Structure 1
Amino acid sequence: MRGMNSAIRAVAHIVAGILVIWIFMDLLGASRGNTLVTWFHSAADWLADWSRGLFTVSDHALQVVLDYGIPAVVYVVIGNLAARRAAN
């Protein structure tokens, strides 16, 4: 079960990493015309679809952090809980 535990945590952290990378790309003004930026934006939108717009604020930077940061934290927490449960 140790391998399953590690796999679950790895997937959760990769998913959260995609969201965090998108947050930085957006806040730093990465070119939306770039293929890599487009991929991260699409992936982050899909992963955070359930939480985008959960809170509405007027500041763009805070909105991006809320829209994509909340699901990043949720995925890591759920992934770690699932990995712990799989280990037992």
Structure 2
Amino acid sequence: MSLRNRNGSHQAGTVIAVIADVMALILGLWILMYLLDANQGNDFVQFVHDAARWLAGWSHDLFTFDEEWARVVAGYGLAAIVYLFVGHAVASRVHRH
């Protein structure tokens, strides 16, 4: 394999890992903002919430805990973990090829 192809694969893997990290960061930031009772009238807080809600659309309200904070942590946290795991697994696979 040429050095050029290897560098391209390395860069693609790095981009995939960074995207997964950013997605998990947004989800983690929303969990933190929720737990700290951030002002949901704030534009930045609303942006993070909207982005996190979109990213965790498949896991939002997946759990039915009585406490809302537990549902937020479990639902959004699960999405963050899945994005990290899958994103870094794909990035690792791309790095090797």
**Counterpart residue number, 1:57:** 65
Amino acid in structure 2 at the alignment position of 1:76 = L
Q: Residues 1-88 of structure 1 correspond to what in structure 2 (within 5 A)?
A: 1-88=9-96
Runs of 4+ displaced beyond 3 Å: none
Give ranges in structure 2 of 5+ residues lacking alignment.
Answer: 1-8
The structure with the larger Rg is 2
How far the C-alpha of 1:10 sits from its partner, in A, is 0.4
TM-superposition CA deviations, 1:35-82 (whole Å, max 9, x none)? 000000000000000011211101122111011000000000000110
TM-score (norm 2): 0.88
Q: Mark the runs of 5 or more structure 1 residues left unpaired by the alignment.
A: none
Q: How many residues are paired up? A: 88
TM (norm. structure 1) is 0.96
User: Sequence identity, in percent?
Assistant: 40
Cα RMSD of the aligned pairs, angstroms, is: 0.7
